[in-house]
Amino acid sequence: MTQKLQKVLAQLGIGSRREMERWIETGRVNVNHVTAKLGDRVDDHALIEVDGKPITTGLRAAPSSQTVLLYHKPIGELCTRHDPEGRPTVFDHLPVPPSGRWIVIGRLDYNTSGLLLFTNDGELANRLMHPSHHLMRTYMVRVYGHVPDEMLDDLENGVELEDGMARFEQVEQVSGDGRNGWYKVEVAMGKNRIVRRLWESQDVKVNRLIRVGFGNITLPDDLKPGEYLILNSEKIKQLE
C-alpha cells in the first residue's frame, strides 16, 4: 500500500503536512535517490531522505491506531531518544507503541517533573504543539524570594524577555509564607523554559517545578514518577 509522501513525513512527527509539502517543493526530500515531487506516493520499501539524511525504515510505518500515553516524568530524565553522556531519558521506560514510534508532545527540562504526553501519531503531535492551538500548561512552582502582589500583577500583564514578551495567564499562591511558597501558574505559550525564565526575571529562584496539566488533561494523583498510562479515546478528544 502506498501513501502520499507528505503524509508519511508528517506521521513521523518531522513537521506538519503543509510544512512537508513546502520541503518537497523546495527539493529537500529525495525518494530512492531522486528529488521528490509534490504528489509522489511511497510504500514501506521506499528510501526516503530529508536534507540528505535517510529515514530509518523501521520508523516509517504509519500508525494503525492513534495512541496517546501520559507519563509522569521524574527529575533527572532528558526528553531525547539518545544522550551521548548516557544519562536516563524519558523513552527508557515506555512500552513499545502499537505501531510507529513515540513522539513527545512538548518537553520538560532535566530538572522539571510531571505530566508529559507521547503519541504515535505525528500529525496529532504537530497539531497540539502548534502555537495556534493555545493549549494551556499548568504548573506547580516552589519559589524562593520575596513575592509581592505587584510582582504577580507584572507576571500576568507581561514581562520582556530576551526573545520577546511573555506572561502567565494566571498565577496564584497555593501555600507557604515568608520567602518560600508554592504557586500555581498557567501559561499558553510554549517558549523554552518559560516558567523558570519568567520567575527569574523577577529575581526569584525556582527550586521545584512540576507540570500538572496539559490542556484538559491533568496528572493523576496516584501516578508515581516513572509510571505511565494510556489515555482512552474520550481523554484524547479532550486534547483536540
C-alpha cell at 230: 494510556
Reply yes or no on whether 83 is catalytic. no
Name the E strands within 40-158. 41-42, 48-50, 53-54, 68-73, 103-105, 113-119, 137-144
| Given the residues 40, 109, 149, 163, the one annotated as active site | 109
* Residue keyed to cell 508529559: 116
- C-alpha dihedral, 21 to 24 to 30 to 32, nearest 10°: 60
Query: Which phi and psi (to 5°) does residue 184 adopt?
Result: -105, 125
- What one-character-per-residue DSSP string does 145-167 give? S---HHHHHHHHH-EEETTEEE-
d(CA 149, CA 157): 12
The residue assigned the cell 502499537 is 98
Comparing CA positions, the residue from 180, 209, 183 lying closest to residue 196 is: 209
Query: DSSP character for 231?
Result: P
> Cell numbers of 234, please?
474520550
User: How far is the C-alpha of 15 from the C-alpha of 6, rounded, in Å?
Assistant: 9
Residue 183 CA, distance from chain mean position: 22
Active site positions, annotated: 109
